[in-house]
Amino acid sequence: MIDDTAEKTAKSFGAWAMPDEYRELQATVRRFVQSDIKAVEDTLPHDATYCPSDKLKPLQDKAKSLGLWCVRTPAEFGGAGLNLLGQAVFAEEAKQVRMGLYNPAMGAFGIDPPNVIWEGNRQQIEKYGLPGVDKGSKCFVAISESSGGADPGRAIQLKAEQVGNKYILNGSKMWITGADKADWGIVYARTGGRGRSGITSFIVDRDTPGLTVKEIPVIRAYSPFELHFDNVEIPIENRLGEEGQGFALAEKWLVDNRISYSAGTLGVASAALDIAIAWAKERETFGSKLADKQAVQWMLADSDMELRAARLIVYDAAWKGDLGEDFKLEASIAKVTATETAGRIVDRAIQIMGGLGLSKELPLERWYRELRIHRIGEGPSEVHRMVVARNLLSGRR
């Protein structure tokens, strides 16, 4: 028999459930995505990376009416102001479409400026941040370089030298998403010695003389870019924060972003599992449904169990971040667990579907390609495992 204390503890754990406001958010996004957004996406080519403006604008107008515009942007700047848990719930639903891992719902919910722009001064916010919310101006974030992206504190070699009231940038960046269509970007460069304290962030207009962009074709439908800086002059008022604060800003961007990044992959995994379940119940081979075969049942069961566990890990990381606690470790665990889980689930779905799973009649093969990149983007799995191991071995478990 459970004593009073144990019973209260059990009830407190048993009572953990998604709060009503998040369930309402989940249901609203799901209805909008599955009825309105998916209908438009189904008219576009398999590897489409954008939606024509005449089809996109009605979706954006509806998203605004639902209060789902730029969900990661603080309300004071015109966004929905969702906290991290809200962002996770949103991302899982919004990305359950074919091009979901590229751009949530084709940009129907707007494109959030990088969160660190709100750390800037009023002039920077008004010139760069607010147009992103109000007019849809696009931005890139440039951290990685050819010397490596997983350890930016040491790998950043792009040099920024102050000359009078401006900085001169020389060097290059690699694997930068969206740089071709961006209006501006946040670029991290070295202003001091080796290590994290020598990094500073800058706001760079895309059309600044000396900045060139080169496409890097990769496995997925859309390409990242290489940026070259040849004596690129940046006015001192475009420095974001003080000198030496760049790494802290980069970390804020990366850690926060890992929540929606991870949750989005689980949305794709959930959609893939639904496709596999429906096919298994319909397809007949060797005189019975696929759903009757133990091998298929176990693949479906493993996928569901892993998805449930990964979702709780992501939610736990988001919850801790919303409490104002240090959640870098939890964000790393969430990123590895979610991206690797999603990859396995989509792989199993393709296996269950057989040849059809490899075809472009379904979104599975596109998701498979894009999820492979997600095990590297936002920090490769091995680096995040190193973070976890370092915490264990230092006694901070």
- Residues serving a catalytic function are 378
Pairing verdict, β 139-142 and 184-190 = parallel
> How far is Cα 223 from Cα 300, in angstroms, rounded to an integer?
32
Q: What angle do CA 341, 32, 311 make, to 5 degrees?
A: 20
DSSP line for 282-344:
H-EETTEEGGGSHHHHHHHHHHHHHHHHHHHHHHHHHHHHHTT---HHHHHHHHHHHHHHHHH
Q: Which residues pair with 197 in a beta bridge?
A: none
3-state class of 200 per DSSP?
A: strand
Cβ neighbours around 357 below 10 Å, total: 22
Residue with tokens 């000359």: 163
> How far is Cα 200 from Cα 250, in angstroms, rounded to an integer?
9
> How far is Cα 365 from Cα 55, in angstroms, rounded to an integer?
25
Cβ neighbours around 339 below 10 Å, total: 28
